[in-house]
Amino acid sequence: MGKIAFVFSGQGDQFPGMGKELYEKYDVAKRIFNTCDTIRPGTGTQCFYGSEEELKETKNTQPCLFAMELAAANVLNEKGVRPDAVAGFSLGEVTAATYCKIFDMETGFRLVCRRGELMQHEAEKFDTSMVAVLKLSPEKVKELCENYSEVYPVNFNCPGQITVSGLSSQMTEFLGDVKAAGGRAVPLKVKGAFHSPFMKDAADLFLEELKKAKVNKGTVTLYSDMTSEQYGDDVVGLLSSQIVSPVLWEKLIENMIRDGVDRFYEIGPGKTLTNMIRKINPDVTAVSVSEFMEVEAC
């Protein structure tokens, strides 16, 4: 029997109404949302009734996703599904670290709120954007990015999919290069050039926040986006540097499979990570668990 992993989603799959059925059906989910609301009033309301544009704001997206994802993970626990390992894509790594008790819930939520604020502040300094480049190799995407001073390959998601961050003024021409090379570019529902040098100040300030937090020994093995390997002792360094570093998701999933994981539960409002994992290795099981009906089916 192989191992189970929970993988927590990042920004992009959020939608109005996420988590509402979990809140209405499960007491453990209600407690988590209520705790988040005591720290950041209105979090539940934003998840359940906020507009798509409101939820796209990074300062809102990150705490809302954290609340919804932690609620879903704890509902799965109540149903007897528990992971042997966890990982999270970008902000999902903070949720994963909180789930495995490296941070208590209140600390983890405060950290993700601050992370969202810092990253939005940096994003508002520049006119930047992110796109997913499809059908091209990592080598080709890197080659195309090297033609521009402020365009960077940042998330290595799965075969044939690399996310690129950059200045909007340079991105237009870059998209033309992608098309000419036989690729396709899909704009992402985020506001900012995340995991690129544009986020350096946010990473530095988040490091100071992390230094104030109590860091515990985790109860479940956690993998790092930045190294693709299991966490060591440098939780603070990894979580702060992650903001300004590429996400090595494809390699991370390959390493989890290497270590015995053969069943993945995506904890979040969509199926982005599930689809990536299926492309990385179609022989493992990947299941999206986002809302009430999907949770009930597990």
How many whole angstroms separate alpha carbon 151 and alpha carbon 168? 9
Task: Determine the residue type at 40.
Answer: R
In the residue annotation, 90 being an active-site residue is answered as yes
How many whole angstroms separate alpha carbon 35 and alpha carbon 214? 19
Q: Out of 9, 129, 165, 195, which one is annotated catalytic?
A: 195
Q: Supply 257's token pair.
A: 């499979």
How many whole angstroms separate alpha carbon 223 and alpha carbon 35? 26
How many whole angstroms separate alpha carbon 253 and alpha carbon 257? 6
CA 9 to each of CA 72, 152, 265: distance values in angstroms, whole numbers, following the listed order: 12, 22, 10
In the residue annotation, 195 being an active-site residue is answered as yes
* Cβ-based burial of 83 (10 A; exposed 0-12, middle 13-18, buried ≥19): buried
Q: Out of 9, 90, 245, 288, which one is annotated catalytic?
A: 90
- Alpha-carbon 213 to chain mean position: 21
How many whole angstroms separate alpha carbon 234 and alpha carbon 143? 32
Residue 191 CB: number of other CB atoms within 10 A? 18
Sequence-distant (6+) residues with CB within 8 A of 48 are: 16, 17, 18, 19, 20, 23
How many whole angstroms separate alpha carbon 110 and alpha carbon 209? 10
Q: How do the residues of the chain divide into helix, strand and coil, expressed in percent and rounded to 5?
A: 50, 20, 30
Enzyme catalytic residues: 90, 195
